[in-house]
């Protein structure tokens, strides 16, 4: 059962998994050409942390022992679904997601990442990409949340030198919205 608040936002966790060398893991969605970070709903009886570890295992086959938690966003980051993705026949109505984002560092070998932990996998491929690349590759309506999560957690991913500069291809409104 999903946790949907009174405003219509489904409680969700997002996972930014870094290799400790400036790259992050993107999963390729089954049945589409889409790419995204692992993410998923928070059950009624789950904490965000418990949901994160469950999703980590379900989507990329990793366990708590395979990662180190570097941080989590301070609050909920929200995005609205475009009207064509809103399932009007469902009750309660879900108009978008509110997410807590976790930054994890992979401790295990990257060969431990796998997609067969469940009978209904979310991903069928993955790739390690530069830190800001997911903003460009994710579906358009999630981009602003990716910008917010990567910006907030960037200092934890790059504690010595700080995160890489924001890409020049970002729209000016994203850069201004973070100031």
Distance of CA 162 to the CA centre of its chain: 20
Whether 50 shows a pLDDT value over 90: the answer reads yes
Question: Could you give the CA distance from residue 66 to residue 52 in angstroms, rounded to a whole number?
Answer: 13
Task: Collect all residues with Cβ–Cβ distance below 8 Å to 118 and sequence separation of at least 6.
Answer: 58
Question: Could you give the CA distance from residue 157 to residue 150 in angstroms, rounded to a whole number?
Answer: 9
Whether 48 shows a pLDDT value over 70: the answer reads yes
pLDDT at 176: 62
Whether 14 shows a pLDDT value over 80: the answer reads yes
pLDDT-derived band of residue 95, with 50, 70 and 90 as boundaries? Answer: confident
What class has domain 9-177?
alpha beta
pLDDT digits (tens, 9 = 90+) for 61-90: 999 999 999 999 999 999 999 888 787 877
Mean pLDDT of all residues belonging to the chain: 91
Residue 76 token pair: 């909920």
pLDDT digits (tens, 9 = 90+) for 116-134: 888 889 899 999 999 999 9
Domain boundaries, the chain: 9-177
Q: Please state whether the predicted TM-score (pTM) of the whole model is above 0.75.
A: yes
pLDDT at 177: 55
Quick one: which H or E segment has residue 54? helix 48-60
């Amino acid at each position: 059962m999903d946790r949907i608040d009174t405003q219509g936002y489904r409680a969700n966790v997002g996972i930014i998994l870094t290799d400790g060398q400036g790259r992050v893991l993107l999963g390729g969605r089954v049945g589409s050409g889409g790419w995204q970070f692992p993410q998923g709903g928070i059950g009624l009886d789950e904490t965000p942390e418990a949901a994160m570890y469950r999703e980590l295992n379900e989507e990329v086959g990793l366990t708590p022992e395979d990662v180190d938690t570097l941080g989590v966003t301070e609050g909920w980051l929200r995005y609205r679904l475009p009207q064509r993705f809103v399932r009007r026949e469902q009750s309660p109505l879900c108009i978008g997601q509110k997410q807590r984002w976790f930054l994890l560092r992979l401790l295990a070998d990257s060969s431990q990442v796998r997609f067969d932990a469940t009978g209904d996998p979310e991903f069928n491929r993955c790739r390690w990409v530069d830190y800001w690349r997911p903003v460009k590759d994710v579906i358009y309506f999630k981009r602003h949340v990716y910008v917010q999560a990567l910006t907030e957690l960037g200092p934890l991913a790059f504690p010595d030198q700080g995160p890489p500069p924001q890409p020049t291809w970002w729209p000016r409104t994203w850069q201004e919205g973070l100031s």
